[in-house]
Structure 1
């Protein structure tokens, strides 16, 4: 980890019996996580106790929190972002159907309540050709705008201290950075880390085979490095700007998202499952939440 120190052990199972976990967030002493195919958002406390905090029939994905503490939830299939009111009721925060046609994906929310939401861009589960797509910004009043274009499956995102948004482009095999302006506009697009060559194909299976890293969910630490869930190689890697891999943890199974949390920010939680294909994950309950100790604590958002 930091300064060449390795991770402090192998991942251990925290909870199991889920369908497919994604988008973990540490908030107010609990890990909040979406379980795609049971259509629930679950909060997990330090003793392993769970609470279903939201039921999202449109399939929950990205999670984030407004400055007043209310939860935002991406509802994937109906192209909406929902807000969990203090009563526990879900209401519509934003409708993205006018600017996004593909299934929504992950999300990051900044300290002003602005949210950036990715989308698949093509019918991944239906076998459609790979297509690049957009990133959408949702302002606190619920208005939406295209924030960036030509992204290769925008997935996990972090906001580094200093206001830099980093987006994982899964099928491009890279992390891409933007500067966030005072008005929320993105500028200064650049490659933060490139993992091998970007596959030049619209065949998903061929692209997967060529990816050296398929960056999915990501989180940042206090040394400016980013932990990356590598969706096709059963691991998480810790990467510095420029692409140097500082550490690697073999999860022994597929890992699709990660989040630093725990009381001191040094527990790396992993969302694990044997695969990501919907037809394989929906009927079974094989997904797990794993955890492993690391040396450098959490920083940035989420």
Structure 2
């Protein structure tokens, strides 16, 4: 499985790929570039510039625009007939904190993590849960860099990363959204990179982009390494399944933290990649 570079846009922090099946379009962000990008199935490209960091984009069940995470809050976002933003929650206590990654679970709840962008060594990150009724609750605290999460096919297990500690944790998810039985699912070692964005395929296996490890890997539900895709960039950042058959794995990447020498040594950093896989993914869950 050899990744194909489909958009060499050199995003400083490419993140948050989302396949929108109804539009046959992949959305993703350049987080610190304040940009939302999209690639159509026929190759068309689109870009929207936002007034601040855009961290993630998620679909709504009613199809009326999107949910999005900006630097300082959770918003509703519309792209047509023109870009429009409506804040719902601004829960962050001070300006060093920002949203980072998010996903919708099978019950239609958004799980959105935060981090201290000024000092990632500080465990100021929290995982918030936005319920379909609009209520926002704090689910987890004392994370450094929240990344993910993703969920098992039955919705009963949440996988969630603290990228600073190179760890993926697993939690039992209750029907009411409560989390129980926290456990270390995998500790990543030297040369593997840090676990970043992730998703689950139709066999309940977990795919993780491994920042700094130049690879994307597939793991069994028990954490056993099954497949490794060698990447032509050092910092793959997130993954999502797409395409009509959900057998295309889209991979974002980044050059954040590079000096000029590093950028010269990693010329495709920040590009969007795709790779064909044997096992399809599952459709993205929708909020609401």
* Bucket of the pairwise TM-score, normalised by the shorter protein: 0.7 to 0.9
The alpha-carbon deviation at position 118 of structure 1 amounts to: 0.8
1:146 maps onto 2:138 in alignment: yes
Question: For the structure 1 residues 123 and 298, does the alpha-carbon distance in structure 2 shift closer, same or farther, using more than 3 Å as the test?
Answer: same
From 5, 8, 15, the equivalent of 2:7 is 15
1:213 maps onto 2:193 in alignment: yes
The alpha-carbon deviation at position 265 of structure 1 amounts to: 0.8
- The aligned counterpart of 2:214 is 234
1:97 maps onto 2:77 in alignment: no
| TM-score under structure 2 length normalisation | 0.84
* Unaligned runs of at least 5 residues, structure 2: none
- The aligned counterpart of 1:264 is 245
From 31, 55, 58, the equivalent of 1:36 is 31
The alpha-carbon deviation at position 220 of structure 1 amounts to: 0.9
The alpha-carbon deviation at position 263 of structure 1 amounts to: 1.0
Q: How many residues align?
A: 273
* Unaligned runs of at least 5 residues, structure 1: 1-8, 197-209
Question: For the structure 1 residues 113 and 256, does the alpha-carbon distance in structure 2 shift closer, same or farther, using more than 3 Å as the test?
Answer: same
- Residues 86-125 of structure 1, C-alpha deviations (whole Å, 9 max, x = no match): 654221122222599622100112344421111123524x
Question: For the structure 1 residues 115 and 297, does the alpha-carbon distance in structure 2 shift closer, same or farther, using more than 3 Å as the test?
Answer: same
Does 231-240 or 114-123 show the bigger shift?
114-123
Question: For the structure 1 residues 271 and 139, does the alpha-carbon distance in structure 2 shift closer, same or farther, using more than 3 Å as the test?
Answer: same
**CA RMSD for the aligned pairs?**
2.7
Does 232-241 or 32-41 show the bigger shift?
32-41
The alpha-carbon deviation at position 211 of structure 1 amounts to: 6.6
Checking the alignment, whether the CA contact within 8 Å between 2:129 and 2:139 is kept in structure 1 is yes
Work out the CA distance in 2 between the residues paired with 1:89 and 1:65: 15
| TM-score under structure 1 length normalisation | 0.81
Work out the CA distance in 2 between the residues paired with 1:100 and 1:191: 30
The alpha-carbon deviation at position 256 of structure 1 amounts to: 1.0
